[in-house]
Amino acid sequence: MYNNQNVFAKILRKEIPSKVVFENDFVLAFHDIKPKANVHVLVIPKEQYINFSDFISHSLNIENFFQEVKNIAENILKLQHYKILTNNGSKAEQEVFHFHVHILGY
């Protein structure tokens, strides 16, 4: 079950600060607090999904979300070389249980 006290829910509600790189009605993108690449940005939907599996199973905005990930990587961050990554489940190193995609830029 989704817990709305997770850190990304608090970032969405502006209860804690983040370095926002892009925001619209549907997504928020902000810099990871512990970057693991030259550029490390997290993209989250504003809808409440626990992880990739939950998002793919239930969202009606899957294509829109991934179009926004591409837009943020290429047009906002101006990256040509990047990885996108999502950790699904605690044993796969998911720490924050609000679905997010990492953009790692080189």
Q: Which residues bind ligand AMP (CB under 6 A)?
A: 7, 16, 18, 32-34, 87, 93-96
Q: Which of 31, 81, 98, 100 is catalytic?
A: 100
Q: How far is the CB of 67 from ligand AMP (least distance, A)?
A: 21
Cβ-contact 105, 32 below 8 angstroms: no
Q: Provide, rounded to whole angstroms, the least separation between the CB of residue 89 and ligand AMP.
A: 10
**What sections of the chain are H helices per DSSP?**
7-12, 52-58, 62-71
Is 58 an annotated catalytic residue? no
Least spacing, CB of residue 70 vs ligand AMP, in Å: 19
Within 10 angstroms of residue 23's Cβ, the number of other Cβ atoms is 13
Select 79 or 100, whichever has its Cβ closest to ligand AMP: 100
Closer Cβ to ligand AMP, 60 or 103, answer by number: 103
Please tell me whether residue 17 adopts helix, strand or coil conformation: coil
Contacts (Cβ under 8 Å, ≥6 apart) of 22: 28, 29, 68, 71, 72, 76
Residues serving a catalytic function are 100
